[in-house]
Each structure stands twice: as structure tokens, then as C-alpha cells.
Structure 1
Amino acid sequence: MRKSLFLLVGVCVLAYVAGCNSKTSKTLPILGSRDPITKVVDGKTITDTLYHSIPDFQLLNQDSVLITNELFSKGVYIANFFFTHCPSICPTMQRNLLKVYEKYKGDERVKFLSHSIDFRHDSPSVLKSYAEKLGVTNDQWQFVTGSKAAVYGLSDSYMVYTKEDSNIPGGYDHSGYLLLIDSNRHIRGAYDGTNDEQIQLLLDELAILLKEYE
């Protein structure tokens, strides 16, 4: 619990910094931890930086197809965590993300990845129905499920909070952040999916990130 709350607070701070930097720079920062690594190149010792990145993953999508991180390796993607019967922030978060999807629909450089944290109820068929009702009409936006260990472990890598909690409506607690991920699986931005200003910031910074690939 304390670890997840610490990660959530960290994302809030980093998202604020990213927002500030985007106004003064044409590149986005890489969020998360970074470690110095030393290597020898042509007889010279060089210190480089190892940035935090999303690990390899393998999850089942809304079409009952097993997908991996390789699906997202040729562009950027926006990730989040939700569940289909969420009575609180999910409807607003997903409708806002739909606005970004509609703007970039058909653009192969941009993909979307929504992880269900309800590993009991959100089967592929449930996710498929949810995606159709939301208005997703192509495979640019993937809705995925997996074991509790797989999905909740990934949420730590994305630095967001997820937890089962029978004391709250819906039975699950989670943050509403949308994470902007580059082709190297580095987190380049974090945005409150329920806030209109943050969605605009996401759109602005997504455009900035895409310029890195021109």
C-alpha cells in the first residue's frame, strides 16, 4: 500500500514537471528512476544512463488474442488501468481517452492500451462489448486482461496505484492516470484522465513526442 501511494505521488510530481518542461522545450523528459551504468567503448570508460522502462508483457486482448509489448514497438502508446463496471472515475477517464483516440484514429504511430484490473469479471468477451459500446472500431486501442500478478505488477511499472478493495464501490481502487509511452517503453508523460486541461496537455505533448519520430 505504502509503495503504491509513493509511486502515485511520484507520478503527480513528475507529471507537473513534464507539463512545465513542455512549455519551454521541444522534447519531453523521461519519467521514473534512472541509474548510471559504466561501459568501456574503444578503450574509453563511458558513463551512460539506464532509464526506467516498462518490462516485457503478454496479455489477452478483447479478441482473445495473446498480445505482447512487440505490438507497440513501432510507435508510441497511451496506457491506463480501469475496469468495465467501475462506478467512479473510469467512465470519465475512458471518454476523455476516446477523444484522443478519435483524433489519431487510423494513425499507425499511435496506439492505446487499457488494462483491466478486474481479473475475475473482465473476460475478453466483456472487454469486447465494452470497447464497442465506447466507440472503438479498430485494433488501434487494445483492451487487455491477465492474472492479478501480471496486471498489478505492470501497474507498478507504470507507477500507478491499483488495488482490490471490497470496502469501496466496485471492489477495486485505482488511479486515473493516462501514461504516454515511447517506442523504447519509457514513460514520457502522466496525465489525470478526468481533467480536461490535462487531456489537452496530453494532446499537446503527444504531438511533441511524435515529432521525435519524424
Structure 2
Amino acid sequence: MRPAAAVAIVLSLAGCREAPRLPEYGTVPAFQLTSQTGEVFDSSVLEGKIWVADFFFTTCAGPCPRMSAQMRQVGKRAQDLPDLRLVSFTVDPEHDTPEVLAAYSKRFQASPERWVFLTGPVETLNMLSFDSFKLGRVDNKDEHSTRFVLVDRRSRIRGYYTSWESGVIQQLVDDIRSLYRESS
């Protein structure tokens, strides 16, 4: 066999290999909070959907506006995936009322059908952030996580993405697409 032909065969076989499956880090339990529209948001609407979560607060002068802009980028880059949802949880529920969240969401041109901003009892938000997502407590809003969390159609956490890392948005979108292929 010619060396060029052997190399071509090896390269073609290497390209056929499936990408490694994303790990599973735990499951997000059912929850109910209040959305930016003022309506009760029941997590059951996320069943069967892939979603990305983050934690923020509207008066944040640090990483939050950048993270929200990055979430918007994720939504734009994956706009061809109709079942993708973006879920932003406030870490300042005393200030971030539905009205405040609605105004904030408009800054980022968020469609409530696709990107929901949630508030509710601090106990519920703590349970989600600390116990479910393993990101830390929300008691001190200035120390909240700056990570995005990828959740699959069965509410399993499949990835963590540090918002300030180079290339994070592309990696997140690539992994979202990987989950779509995995579940199709």
C-alpha cells in the first residue's frame, strides 16, 4: 500500500470517531420560582429541553453584565436549536423583583419564551446554587459564581464553563450541539 493511501485511510477513520460523551455531574431537582413576567415558573417546562443556567444580579457592576451579554451570544449562535433555553437566576431576590428583571432582560433583548430570568425565596435559590448546581451559596451576592452550567433534556448537569475563559462561548455552543446529537 502506498504511504499516501495509508495516511488517507487513517485520517478518514479518525474523522469517523464519535466525540466523547459529556460527563454527568448530578441532576437539577424540580423547582418553582417567579419569572421576569411575574408569572410562576415551574421547571417542568424545561423537561425535554437543553438549557444553560447562570447566576447574576441586576445591580452588579462586575461580571454580571458581561455574563448576560455572553448568554445572549449563546442564544444567537444556537438560534437554530428551537428547544434551547437560557435560565438566569438572581442572587439578589430582595432587589431583583419581576419588574426589575423585566427591565434588565430588555437590556439584553431577551425573549421570555427562550430566556427566563428568575427570582424567588433565597432558600430556594441557595438550594439550587449550592446543593444542585454545586456553585456556592447566594447569601453574599458579591461572591456568586461566574460559571455557566449546561443541563440536558433529563435535567442532568453536563458541563461547567468559566465565563472569563477565552473561547468559552464557542465551547459551550459546541457542547450544546453535542447534546442535541446525543439525544436525537
- Please report the TM-score for the alignment, with normalisation by the length of structure 2: 0.84
Q: Retained in 2: the 8 A contact 1:59–1:145?
A: yes
Q: Once superposed, what is the RMSD of the aligned Cα atoms?
A: 1.8
In 1, Cα distance between the equivalents of 2:136 and 2:68? Answer: 17
Query: Partners of 2:49 and 2:68 in 1: how far apart?
Result: 21
Secondary structure of the corresponding residue to residue 207 of structure 1: helix
**Which of 130, 134, 159 is matched with 2:134 structurally?**
159
Match in the other structure for 1:144: 118
Q: Are 1:199 and 2:174 matched, yes or no?
A: no
1:161, distance to aligned residue in structure 2 (A) = 2.2
Q: Which of 23, 28, 31 in structure 1 is aligned with 2:22?
A: 28
Structure 1, gaps ≥5 residues long: 1-22, 32-51, 166-170
- The AA in structure 1 aligned to 2:175 is E
1:91 deviates by 1.2
Cα pair 2:50 2:151 within 8 Å, conserved: yes
Aligned to 1:175: 145
Corresponding residue number in structure 1 for 2:40 = 66
Residue 138 of structure 1: how far off its partner (Å)? 4.2
Structure 1 residue 24, shift from structure 2 partner: 7.4
* One-letter code aligned to 1:207: R
Asked if the contact 2:48–2:154 (Cα under 8 Å) also holds between the matched residues in 1, the reply is no
- Indicate the residue corresponding to 2:181 in structure 1: 211
2:160 aligned to which of 190, 207, 213? 190
Percent identical across equivalent pairs? Answer: 28
Give the TM-score of the pair, scaled to structure 1: 0.73
Q: 1:82 to 1:55 in 2, by over 3 A?
A: same
| Structure 1 partner of 2:69 | 95
Matched residue type, 1:65: E
Larger proportion of strand: 1
Query: 1:175-200, CA deviations, whole angstroms, 9 ceiling, x for partnerless residues?
Result: 11100001111110100122331222
Q: How does 1:1-20 map to 2 (within 5 A)?
A: none
Q: Quick one: distance in 2 between partners of 1:106 and 1:127?
A: 26
The whole-number CA distance in structure 2 between the counterparts of 1:24 and 1:210 is: 14
Which amino acid in 2 is paired with 1:30? E
Bigger Rg, structure 1 or 2: 2
**8 Å CA contact retained: 2:36, 2:118:** yes
Q: CA deviation at 1:92?
A: 1.2
Shift, 1:25, TM fit: 2.9
